[in-house]
Structure 1
């Protein structure tokens, strides 16, 4: 158990799991149930990258320097402010004889677990990254444990596109599961034009729900209308509860929060019908704000924290991308814009 869960990699504090650890051992030598991956590209999660970009005023060199500092200090990419990380793609370099993950040397893979628990070394100083995007060309090594999750990259998608989809693949799978538990659901997605938001809308629609996407400006609204995955599109500041509730109108059966800024909990709760469900799929979510806000509003809603894993989530998300070309176009435009 210790090795399969990565406890042997924890340097401090001893006794916690790798995600909760302050510092991991990122040395490239593997134990018999670990895998070493030769890193090609990181994908910083949206909340983490936004925090770094705002802190440094968009100065790419300063953003790059801080990412290097975090990885060097912690042995993983674990933003100490947001508590979040991201994921990576690379090539399997070595497989321990007891690894249960089902990949072989030479496979090009995406890690489907957070960088906050993945031992990581950077060996190129991130020389190929300008610091101005979430996607980070990189060289180095990463370690996967026996209880990690990994996916072989599909042949028909560019690696950058696969990385962007796998980064948020838990959102559409969980949305699909929850929608199918409600007859005639109406689903509101805050941040509907983003990566996780557009896939959540597509999943909800395919599961038979009526959908409304909430976005922050007319540019995003036009983009989402073009994708055709929302029956309605409305503009609102997700941090303004009254504005969100007014934009959603008829209370939603299910509200999915895919906005990477703090302060969106109360609007989501206010916009959800009694007996409904709120899914928080943002690393900026505050548990106290959500719990106390629901209590203060006497809101009879179930609140779920999307943990990023649903069985079959990676294949489900890739299939959605293939079946809904307009969503694929949204992803490709986002990657090109970076």
Structure 2
């Protein structure tokens, strides 16, 4: 009798794996990988898995900001990321709970993988690093800790229900990775604005908090295409306001602290129908609620959001607003976001300007 081939940890391919990755959870057993404290990053695939040779991580903005503010040097940030991945078998910042995504080349495809990937495909994962089994093998020696994009050598595992995009050939890899990291934001903004246009027969006023960032600039472009009327970008500084005005993505660019609810409303002048939250700092929930007119919609697309603060704050303010959690996935979101960068020079200019910045030395 022929024995089944050995898979990870001495188990056999005859045993069942979970398309949700439950078989990779080390502790606590029984939870989904995103909720788990630790995952098994063994690079030997189960039959429905894909193993990727990692080339670059893209840390999400909220996580990177927290790490940058908590550590005095780039070397300390690098050490912190290595420690997290070593302890947890994944990149999940224990303070923000968020992670990011990665770029790499497919090393191995299990015989029952449904993802349609092939060995040698260069891909960006469209699922969070918080649920992706990850090993780092190079000590991040090529990363100075000075940006969200992390040159890296290691391996990652995709489950049967994971999603990934083959990298486009017409865009630089770093740019494509940055765009795909936040692809859910513009797609959901497009959906929300189009539904309001259809429901009310008029162009809604839309405000994007953090309109100069990656998800914010894409959301501005998406809102305009979807039929937004008044389009407002809120940014934290005059320098950022100048960049956003220079590329013409918004009708108005307002400098305000989104953590100051009354100050934000005063700066806006009048409330809007849709507020999209794309900030990377905590404490903007009440400002977003107050900025939105009764009957309006707030889309929280920020990993710095406290959803209890948003819900309880809206209740305390007697605010009749619908609140949506941007979950990072909308069907077709990857191609939609890449299409915006290809066709909107202003969006691409902001992304490229951001890549040139070195926020930590």
TM-score (normalizing by structure 1):
0.99
Q: CA deviation at 1:196?
A: 0.3
Judge conservation of contact 2:17–2:48 (CA < 8 Å) in 1: no
Q: CA RMSD in A?
A: 0.8
Superposed, 1:171-320 pairs within 5 Å as 171-183=185-197, 184-210=203-229, 211-320=231-340
Q: What is the alpha-carbon distance in structure 2 between the residues aligned to residue 18 and residue 292 of structure 1?
A: 28
SS at match of 2:195: coil
Match of 1:17 in 2: 32
Superposed, 1:85-100 pairs within 5 Å as 85-100=99-114
Q: Deviations over 1:229-264 (max 9, x none)?
A: 101111100100011111222211000011111100
Q: What is the alpha-carbon distance in structure 1 between the residues aligned to residue 17 and residue 273 of structure 2?
A: 42
Judge conservation of contact 2:100–2:129 (CA < 8 Å) in 1: yes
Q: Deviations over 1:150-176 (max 9, x none)?
A: 000000111100110001000000000
SS at match of 2:108: strand
Q: Deviations over 1:171-216 (max 9, x none)?
A: 0000000000112111000000000000000000011102100001
Q: What is the alpha-carbon distance in structure 2 between the residues aligned to residue 108 and residue 329 of structure 1?
A: 25
Q: What is the alpha-carbon distance in structure 2 between the residues aligned to residue 248 and residue 179 of structure 1?
A: 19
**Candidates 47, 50, 55, aligned match of 1:40:** 55
Q: Does 1:74 align with 2:88?
A: yes
Match of 1:102 in 2: 116
- Equivalenced residue count is 337
Judge conservation of contact 1:214–1:247 (CA < 8 Å) in 2: no
Q: Which moved more, 1:245-254 or 1:302-311?
A: 245-254
Larger Rg: 2
Q: CA deviation at 1:2?
A: 4.8
Q: Does 1:127 align with 2:127?
A: no
Which runs of 5 or more structure 1 residues have no equivalent in the other structure? none
TM-score (normalizing by structure 2):
0.92
Any runs of at least 4 consecutive aligned residues in structure 1 with deviations exceeding 6 A, and if so which?
none
SS at match of 2:196: coil
Q: What is the alpha-carbon distance in structure 2 between the residues aligned to residue 208 and residue 309 of structure 1?
A: 22
Q: What is the alpha-carbon distance in structure 1 between the residues aligned to residue 318 and residue 216 of structure 2?
A: 27
Judge conservation of contact 1:242–1:267 (CA < 8 Å) in 2: yes
Q: What is the alpha-carbon distance in structure 2 between the residues aligned to residue 92 and residue 336 of structure 1?
A: 28
